[in-house]
């Protein structure tokens, strides 16, 4: 299954993607792929380049290389166009519109959706995944708890009906119980067929729901691992020590 | 010092204050969308009055239609400035300072072009309602004053409604809060920037059309209006449209009172004193927290 994945089933194909901040190359040429219906985790310590990889895929930072989405190249410096193509990132720190209401945040998530009926359908999907957002609709988004804000960030992304969902450390700053809840809902979304690329520092949690994982260190992929074959986390630690 | 004129002067202060407020809101709308302080704001005010005058007197277009044409034309000028001056610098990741200087250059280019095309003769517009002022107690209330206040309030209300209820208005607010997150949701951030220039330009044009019958307009009236609108925005806490409107009225009143108490020469002294006072004591504006 891991080596399978022809061009037809490949959702995201990142080839030789590098990124720089000024003169510093924060991401060396990197290859990452996500197959259809797959949940792939990007693991690594702080400063490994995980966020930079996500930002480079979306074209938020200066980058070189190619990113193909279902065979078609994605524009390299236009996050709006990536979102319009169905590649949607929930950024690190959530990026919710704090002074606006929960309802407005969700409405803006569906900025590109045309019809009212489609909007309702998407909103129902978000409410069934995160019922708490429905209760909080008129509340100011910035007044939500951290976990609820993360739910809102994911819910807002889902409102744009993504064809692949990218998430940058959704567990950041959340209590363990809330993290499990969030990752559980991501797993549920994935079982419905949504491909997901998940950046996570908490490797054990991510490996529970991922079908495949890349290990990043100092701006490079140092290993690709199959969570089912990882018997202990010492094995992962081993990659970083060797 | 004769204070019996004070209520009358205060009234005219409120009138001009509404104008400063509209210009101040124009500063806020662009600032929120981009972080740029657009010093071409005064050019929009000047163009609003000049184009209306040209339509009315040279082409004989009725007043309302002349005003509508002027607002549309100035909005277009706003989009042109965004496309031609701001966008190329933005795409090259120019610093804020460079972009702000570029808008100042645009202001000068528009001002000088107007001088070449239209000459240096001041022009004025007829009052919208040509009737003698109403007498309320000892107070003479001109119809143009009522037009200014009513039209300003209507404009502010329409703008508030636009930002609160329409999807595009909400998207513009989202860009102001977090441009990157907005882009990640597929909101066309650069189109929102162009739209903010069009909106600001329209606000400037409306201000210019409303005030011209009480004063005059000429190629060089833009800069003083821009400075007062800028002070209004600072007083309101830069980036808060309603604050800018209240700030404009406060500034208009402060100027009016300074003129009565200290003499006409103190109008600008009062304005700049208000600016300095707020910059020192309350840099986040009347509605912001004290620092």
Q: What is the pLDDT of residue B286?
A: 80
Q: Which two tokens stand for residue A118?
A: 């489609």
- Compare A8 and A21 and report the one with higher pLDDT: A21
**Half-sphere exposure (Cβ direction) of B201: Cα atoms closer than 13 Å:** 26
Residues A126, A102 share a domain:
yes
Query: How do residues B150-162 score in pLDDT, each as one tens digit?
Result: 999 999 999 999 9
For residue A126, what pLDDT band results from cuts at 50, 70 and 90? very high
To the nearest whole Å, the CA of B231 is away from the closest chain A CA by 25
A242 CB contacts (<8 Å, ≥6 apart)?
none
Residue A5 has pLDDT above 60, yes or no: no
Share of chain A above pLDDT 70, in %: 92
Question: For the domain that residue B84 is a member of, what is the CATH number?
Answer: 1.10.3470
Rounded distance, CA A74 to CA A105, Å? 26
Domain with A74, as residue range(s), is: 1-86+165-182+191-242
Residues A80, A9 share a domain:
yes
Q: In this complex, which of A80, A99, A112 lies closest to B183 when CB atoms are compared?
A: A80
Contact B173 A83 (CB under 8 A): no
Rounded distance, CA A14 to CA B203, Å? 46
- Strand segments, DSSP code E, in B156-288 are none
Q: Which two tokens stand for residue B12?
A: 């005219």
Q: Could you tell me which chain B residue has the CA closest to the CA of A83?
A: B186
For residue A2, what pLDDT band results from cuts at 50, 70 and 90? very low
Contact B170 A79 (CB under 8 A): no
Tell me which H or E stretch contains A6.
none
Contact A97 B181 (CB under 8 A): yes
Evaluate whether residue B106 is within a structural domain.
yes
Rounded distance, CA A98 to CA A91, Å? 14
Q: What is the pLDDT of residue A1?
A: 41
Residues A232, A114 share a domain:
no
Query: How do residues B21-47 score in pLDDT, each as one tens digit?
Result: 999 999 999 998 888 899 999 999 999
Tell me which H or E stretch contains A88.
strand A87-90
Q: Which of B217, B212, B220 is nearest to B112 (CA)?
A: B220
To the nearest whole Å, the CA of A201 is away from the closest chain B CA by 22
The answer to whether B168 faces chain A, any CB pair under 8 Å, is: no
Residues A74, A16 share a domain:
yes
Q: What is the pLDDT of residue A210?
A: 95
Q: Which of A112, A120, A33 is nearest to A79 (CA)?
A: A112
Residues A73, A2 share a domain:
yes
Percent helix, strand, coil in chain B, to 5, is 75, 5, 20
Q: In this complex, which of B178, B180, B186 lies closest to A84 when CB atoms are compared?
A: B186
Residues A104, A50 share a domain:
no
Chain B residues near residue A60 by CB distance under 8 angstroms = 180, 183-184
Per-residue DSSP letters for B175-194? HHH-HHHHHHTT--HHHHHH
Q: What is the pLDDT of residue B200?
A: 97
Evaluate whether residue B74 is within a structural domain.
yes
Evaluate whether residue B270 is within a structural domain.
yes
Evaluate whether residue B287 is within a structural domain.
no
Chain A residues near residue B182 by CB distance under 8 angstroms = 97, 108
Residues A11, A106 share a domain:
no
On whether the CB atoms of residues A12 and A40 are closer than 8 A, the answer is no
Residues A151, A134 share a domain:
yes
Contact A156 B180 (CB under 8 A): no
Domain count, chain B: 1
Residues A173, A156 share a domain:
no
Contact A80 B170 (CB under 8 A): no
Evaluate whether residue B286 is within a structural domain.
no
Q: Could you tell me which chain B residue has the CA closest to the CA of A54?
A: B184
Residues A223, A131 share a domain:
no
Contact B178 A60 (CB under 8 A): no
* CB neighbourhood size of A196 (10 A): 23
Per-residue DSSP letters for A155-220? HHHHHT--SEEEEE-TTTT--HHHHHHHHHHHHHHHHTT--EEEEES-HHHHHHH-SEEEEEETTE
Contact B174 A98 (CB under 8 A): no
Q: In this complex, which of B171, B177, B183 lies closest to A79 when CB atoms are compared?
A: B183
Q: What is the pLDDT of residue A232?
A: 67
Residue A180 CA, chain-centre distance (Å), reads 16
Please identify among residues 139-168 of chain A the ones whose CB lies closer than 8 Å to any CB of chain B.
Answer: 156-157, 160
Residue A204 has pLDDT above 90, yes or no: no
Q: What is the pLDDT of residue A230?
A: 74
Domain count, chain A: 2
Question: For the domain that residue A80 is a member of, what is the CATH number?
Answer: 3.40.50.300
Q: In this complex, which of A89, A99, A100 lies closest to B184 when CB atoms are compared?
A: A89
For residue A6, what pLDDT band results from cuts at 50, 70 and 90? low
Tell me which H or E stretch contains B145.
helix B143-165
Residues A174, A77 share a domain:
yes
Rounded distance, CA A137 to CA A120, Å? 14
Evaluate whether residue B103 is within a structural domain.
yes
Q: What is the pLDDT of residue A25?
A: 86
Rounded distance, CA A135 to CA A155, Å? 14
Residue B289 has pLDDT above 90, yes or no: no
Query: How do residues A214-229 score in pLDDT, each as one tens digit?
Result: 999 889 998 898 888 8
- Compare A230 and A38 and report the one with higher pLDDT: A38
Please identify among residues 188-227 of chain B the ones whose CB lies closer than 8 Å to any CB of chain A.
Answer: 188-189
Residues A172, A242 share a domain:
yes
What are residue A22's phi and psi, to 5 degrees?
Answer: 65, -120
Q: Give the mean pLDDT of chain A.
A: 91
Residue A112 CA, chain-centre distance (Å), reads 20
Domain with B12, as residue range(s), is: 3-281
Q: What is the pLDDT of residue A8?
A: 63
Interface test with B, best of A20, A22, A55, A80 (most B CBs within 10 A): A80
Q: ipTM of this model?
A: 0.91
Residue B83 has pLDDT above 90, yes or no: yes
Q: What is the pLDDT of residue B290?
A: 46
Q: Which of B276, B272, B233 is nearest to B41 (CA)?
A: B233
To the nearest whole Å, the CA of B190 is away from the closest chain A CA by 10
Residue A233 has pLDDT above 70, yes or no: no
Residue A7 has pLDDT above 70, yes or no: no
């Amino acid at each position: 299954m891991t080596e399978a994945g022809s061009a037809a089933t490949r959702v995201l194909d990142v080839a030789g993607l590098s990124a720089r901040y000024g003169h510093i190359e924060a991401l060396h040429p990197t290859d990452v792929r996500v197959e259809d219906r797959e949940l792939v985790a990007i693991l690594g310590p702080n400063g490994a380049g995980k966020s930079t990889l996500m930002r480079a895929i979306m074209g938020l930072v200066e980058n070189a290389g190619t990113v193909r989405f279902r065979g078609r190249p994605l524009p390299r410096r236009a996050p709006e166009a990536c979102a319009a193509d169905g590649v949607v990132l929930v950024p690190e720190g959530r990026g919710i519109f704090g002074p606006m209401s929960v309802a407005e945040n969700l409405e803006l998530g569906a900025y590109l959706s045309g019809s009212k009926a489609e909007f309702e359908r998407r909103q129902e999907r978000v409410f069934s995944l995160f019922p708490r957002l429905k209760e909080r609709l008129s509340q100011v988004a910035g007044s939500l708890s951290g976990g609820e804000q993360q739910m809102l960030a994911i819910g807002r992304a889902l409102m744009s009906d993504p064809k692949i969902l990218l998430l940058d450390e959704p567990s950041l700053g959340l209590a363990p119980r809330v993290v499990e809840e969030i990752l559980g809902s991501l797993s549920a979304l994935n079982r419905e067929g949504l491909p997901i690329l998940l950046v996570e520092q908490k490797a054990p949690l991510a490996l529970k729901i991922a079908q495949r994982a890349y290990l990043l260190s100092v701006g490079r992929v140092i290993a690709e691992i199959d969570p089912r074959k990882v018997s202990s986390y010492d094995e992962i630690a081993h990659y970083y020590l060797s | 010092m004769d204070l019996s004129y004070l209520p009358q002067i205060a009234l005219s202060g409120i009138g001009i204050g509404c104008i400063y407020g509209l210009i101040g809101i124009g500063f806020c709308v662009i600032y929120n969308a981009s972080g740029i302080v657009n010093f071409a704001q005064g050019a929009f005010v000047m163009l609003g009055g000049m184009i209306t005058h040209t339509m009315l007197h040279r082409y004989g277009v009725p007043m309302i239609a002349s005003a509508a044409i002027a607002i549309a034309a100035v909005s277009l000028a706003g989009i042109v400035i965004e496309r031609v001056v701001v966008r190329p610098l933005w795409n090259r990741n120019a610093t804020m300072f460079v972009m702000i200087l570029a808008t100042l250059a645009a202001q000068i280019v528009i001002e000088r072009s107007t001088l070449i095309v239209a000459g240096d003769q001041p022009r004025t517009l007829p009052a919208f309602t040509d009737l003698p002022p109403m007498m309320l107690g000892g107070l003479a209330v001109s119809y143009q004053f009522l037009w200014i206040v009513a039209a300003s309030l209507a404009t502010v209300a329409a703008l508030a409604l636009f930002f609160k209820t329409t999807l595009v208005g909400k998207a513009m607010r989202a860009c102001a809060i977090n441009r990157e997150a907005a882009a990640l949701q597929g909101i066309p951030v650069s189109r929102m920037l162009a739209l903010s220039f069009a909106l600001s330009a329209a606000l400037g044009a409306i201000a210019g059309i409303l005030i011209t019958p009480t004063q005059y307009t000429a190629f060089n009236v833009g800069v003083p209006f821009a400075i007062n609108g800028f002070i209004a925005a600072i007083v309101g806490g830069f980036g808060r449209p309603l604050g800018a409107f209240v700030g404009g009225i406060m500034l208009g009143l402060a100027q009016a009172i300074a003129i009565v108490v200290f003499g006409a020469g103190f109008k600008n002294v009062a304005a700049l004193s208000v600016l300095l006072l707020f910059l020192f004591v309350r840099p986040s504006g009347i509605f912001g927290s004290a620092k």
